[in-house]
A and B are shown apart, each in its own frame.
Chain A
Amino acid sequence: MPKPFREVLDSGKFVVTSEIGPPKGTNLEEMTRNIDLLKDKVDAINVTDNQSSAMRYPSLGGCLLIKDRGGEPILQMTCRDRNRLALQSDLLFAYSRGIRNVLCLTGDSIPVGDHKEAKGVFDLDSVQLLRTVRTLESGKDLGGNDLNGAVKFCTGAVVTPEAHPIEPQMHKFKKKVAAGAEFFQTQAVYDLNNFRTFMQHARPSNVKIFAGIVLLVSAKMAQYMNANVPGIFVPQELIDELAGAEKGKALQKGVEIAGHMIKTIKDERICDGVHIMAIGKEKVVVDILAAAGLL
């Protein structure tokens, strides 16, 4: 049985989390295999919520599966697909089924996804959602009504250390802290100097910060993500390093790059941990952990 995530945060150890993308459908075989692969090697596993605005099996379902398999799940909730009623309902349900960690996100926009004519809800934004969790914890809902049975969550949020300009992001970061965020998983970090500067500004807020590590499998993938995935900026040197790898060894290069970055962050204690995102290649997370010397 894994430790509850909040206990892990309080322990001060170098935290490692990862994430699983659910399937587009009800065939949960691969997701189950990925969960089994990771559950004992990381402190908690996020399940993404209609990631990149593509319709998938819900995060809530993935989290229940993780619990069944003996792992520690982090529920991801975006504000894009559900209004404030549905978000509160889902929080009640999640709590009732033993889910104790929730990451509150705005959500990618509709046009980047695969249902381009859908309505993007955005009834709440991420800051308001964080406050909503705290409101529910106080025993009331957003309408001011008393709850019959409360909730308690360890809440997290996201920040983009590579944003240009960075100042508006930092102000929003502080708003999220004020709204109750206890931990932050960042968008992909590639430039450690930028990240160190970011951490200087973020440290005084006294929350746990986990650097987002996104596995790059090829130069093409890096370029695609730069152009199409919001919040991700891969520097040219890394694209070149990947392009320069021997034929068939680009993935290995990507693993090396990720592993090296994690090791540096841990050794220098730049932040409190890492969140490994190996989109579509969850199996490779184990290799990355090995490359980082964490297994």
Chain B
Amino acid sequence: MIVGDRKPFDEIKDNIRDYKKILILGCGTCVSVCQAGGEKEVELLASELRIANKLAGKDVEIGQATIKRQCDKEFIEPIVEKAKQYDAVLSMACGAGVQLVADVMEPKPVIPALNTDFIGITESPGTWVERCQACGNCLLEKTGGICPITRCAKGLLNGPCGGTKDGMCEVDTKKPCAWTLIYQRLEKQGKLDIFDEYNPPRNFQAVVMPGKVTKS
């Protein structure tokens, strides 16, 4: 899923200082899973903002709502009416959701409450790690299901560099060397001959920004 984390409280408070009526809008999909912007997090942020505003003597109305996803118009349209009562929407979705909500509710200001970090998986409760860079040219069948573009700090395609130490990465010694992991995985699969195959230079223009996929 897309993994994000909530911006520091002070930054959020600062970004919404001009508004008197704010709707905090949560997203029920990716950011709920990584506990950054789901219904629970909306309630928590609302309470924090109410307390902080009251302590500062500011009279701000805070509304709360969570929709299934903010990346599909069909879920945004039903709350457009409610949003009209507010000066701004504080979106707890990833960057994609914030932008679609801003498009649908134009010209209402939509402020992001999250920093969107990466495409990843849940490693353990409370820890999410990056696994995919959306390179547009998946080569996971050549690397035993371990992505060197994402997990090798240098994005190498033909084996480890000389900086690996005890199977850990030169750049962050707490992170495993992706190519060492790939080697071990292919060894378990009995497919080391794949390791020896030459992988040509990556096509960095596989997805030209901003990407677009259409289904005919």
A and B assemble together: yes
For residue A111, CB closer than 8 A to chain B, the reply is: yes
Nearest A residue to B195, CB-CB:
A171
| A171 lies within 8 A of B201 (CB) | no
Interface centre among B154, B157, B170 (most CB of A within 10 A): B154
Q: Type the 1/0 row for B130-166, where 1 means its CB is closer than 8 Å to any CB of A.
A: 0000000000000000000000011111111111111
Nearest B residue to A142, CB-CB:
B201
Interfacial residues of chain B within 44-73, with CB under 8 A of chain A in the complex: none
Chain B residues whose CB sits within 8 angstroms of the CB of A6 once the complex forms: none
Interfacial residues of chain A within 159-183, with CB under 8 A of chain B in the complex: 159-160, 163-165, 167-169, 171-172, 174-175, 178-179
Q: How far is the CA of A123 from the CA of B156 in the complex (A)?
A: 9
Chain B binder among A32-40, A125-133, A262-270, A284-292:
A125-133
| A123 lies within 8 A of B158 (CB) | no
| B161 lies within 8 A of A106 (CB) | yes
Tell me the smallest distance from the CB of B136 to a CB of chain A, in Å. Answer: 16
Nearest A residue to B158, CB-CB:
A127
Which of A111, A163, A174 is in CB contact (< 8 Å) with B162?
A163
- Interface size for chain A: under 10, 10 to 19, 20 to 34, or 35 or more residues? 35 or more
Q: Type the 1/0 row for A97-139, where 1 means its CB is closer than 8 Å to any CB of B.
A: 0000000001111011000000010111111100100000000
Main secondary structure of the interface of B (DSSP, over half): loop
| B154 lies within 8 A of A175 (CB) | no
Known contacts A120-B154, A142-B201; is-contact A175 B196 (Cβ 8 Å): yes
| A230 lies within 8 A of B159 (CB) | no
For residue B95, CB closer than 8 A to chain A, the reply is: no
Interfacial residues of chain B within 172-216, with CB under 8 A of chain A in the complex: 177, 179-180, 183, 192, 195-196, 198-202, 204
For residue A275, CB closer than 8 A to chain B, the reply is: no
Known contacts A106-B156, A128-B157, A171-B196; is-contact A112 B170 (Cβ 8 Å): yes
| B160 lies within 8 A of A168 (CB) | yes
| A169 lies within 8 A of B204 (CB) | no
| A123 lies within 8 A of B201 (CB) | yes
Q: How far is the CA of A174 from the CA of B158 in the complex (A)?
A: 11
For residue A231, CB closer than 8 A to chain B, the reply is: yes
| A164 lies within 8 A of B160 (CB) | no
Tell me the smallest distance from the CB of A129 to a CB of chain B, in Å. Answer: 9
- 8 shortest A-B CB distances, which residue pairs? A230-B163, A172-B159, A127-B158, A160-B162, A231-B162, A230-B170, A168-B183, A106-B161
What are 14 of the A-B contact pairs (CB < 8 Å)?
A111-B171, A112-B171, A122-B154, A122-B155, A125-B158, A127-B158, A128-B158, A128-B200, A131-B198, A163-B162, A164-B165, A171-B196, A175-B198, A231-B170
B interface residues with partner A (beta carbon < 8 Å):
153-167, 170-171, 177, 179-180, 183, 192, 195-196, 198-202, 204
